[in-house]
Amino acid sequence: MSYPIAQGGLAAVLAHPDDESFGCAGSLALARDRGVTTRLLVVTRGEAGTPDGTPDAGMGDQREAELIGAARAIGLDEVSLLDGYPDGGVADRPFDTLVDEIAAWLAERRPTAVITFGPHGVTGHPDHIVVGSATRWAVERLAESGLAPNAVYVISPIFDPGGGRFDLSPEEQSATHRIDITAVADRKLAALDSHASQTDTADEIAALRAAIESERPIYEGYHRVRPLVPPPHPTFDTKLL
Ligand SMILES: [Zn+2]
C-alpha cells in the first residue's frame, strides 16, 4: 500500500502489525486530522501471532490485511512493510542492514517527527527493542547528512487505560508528552479491533472501551529522546509536531 505522497509529517517505525494501534494510533489520527502526513513502517508481518507462537505464512497474510484495516481506521497516508525480518527473530538478522533499511525509508520520506519503541519496547518483546534501537541508530546516521527528523519520540504507555503492568525503561516511564486522544479514541478502538486474530490483547481493548464509555479523558504518552531535554519536565507537552 505504498504510493508517492508528500514528504514530512509524522512517521512511526514499529515491529509488528498491531503495535501502531496500541502505541500511537490516537496521535497519528489526530495528526492526520490536522492535515499532517502520517506514515507507518512495520518491520515484520506478525506471522508468529498464532495461538502457540508457531510461525505461519497464512497468519502473516491475515495480519497484513488486519494492518491495512487498522491503517484505514486511523487514516494513515502510507503503510510499508520490510521484507525478510521474521516475527520474533528480528534480532537474529544483521543489525546494520536493518539500520540501513530504516534509514533509507526515512530518507525518502523526510518525516518531521518519528515515533518508535524505547529501550524496553513497552512489553519487553525483543523485536520491539531491536526495532527501537535500529530506528534511533538510523536517525543518527541520517543526522550525519543533515537529514534527521526534528524530533524522535519513544512510546511511554503510562497513561494507557490498560497499561501500568510493564517493566519499563526510565525513558518509557517518564513521559515528556501527553497527547489527549479522547476525540479520536473510537478510531484507536476500531484500529485495535481490526487486529482480530490477536486475542491475547482483549484486556487492553476492554479497558479502552470502558474508558470511552465512561467518558474519561484518554491519553497517549511519549518521551522525546531527540533532541533530549534533561528532566525535570515541569509539565507535559501536548503536541508531537
Ligand atoms: Zn509488537
- CATH classification at residue 154: 3.40.50.10320
- 72: in domain: yes
Q: How far is the CA of 22 from the centre of ligand 1 (A)?
A: 9
Residue 163 pLDDT = 67
| C-alpha cell of residue 133 | 534501537
Residue 164 pLDDT = 67
Q: How far is the CA of 146 from the centre of ligand 1 (A)?
A: 30
- 175: in domain: yes
Q: How far is the CA of 26 from the centre of ligand 1 (A)?
A: 17
Q: How far is the CA of 145 from the centre of ligand 1 (A)?
A: 31
- 66: in domain: yes
- 240: in domain: no
The count of domains in the chain is 1
Q: How far is the CA of 18 from the centre of ligand 1 (A)?
A: 7
- 232: in domain: no
Q: How far is the CA of 7 from the centre of ligand 1 (A)?
A: 26
Supply the range of the domain harboring residue 14.
10-226
- 238: in domain: no
Residue 230 pLDDT = 78
Distance between CA atoms of residues 34 and 199, nearest Å: 32
- 196: in domain: yes
Neighbours of ion ligand 1 (CB under 5 A): 15-16, 19
Distance between CA atoms of residues 3 and 1, nearest Å: 7
| C-alpha cell of residue 182 | 479522547
Distance between CA atoms of residues 12 and 116, nearest Å: 6
Cis preceding linkage at 157, omega within 30: no
- 239: in domain: no
pLDDT profile of the chain (241 residues), mean per 10: 77 98 97 97 97 95 98 98 98 98 97 98 96 98 96 95 81 93 98 95 92 96 92 85 91
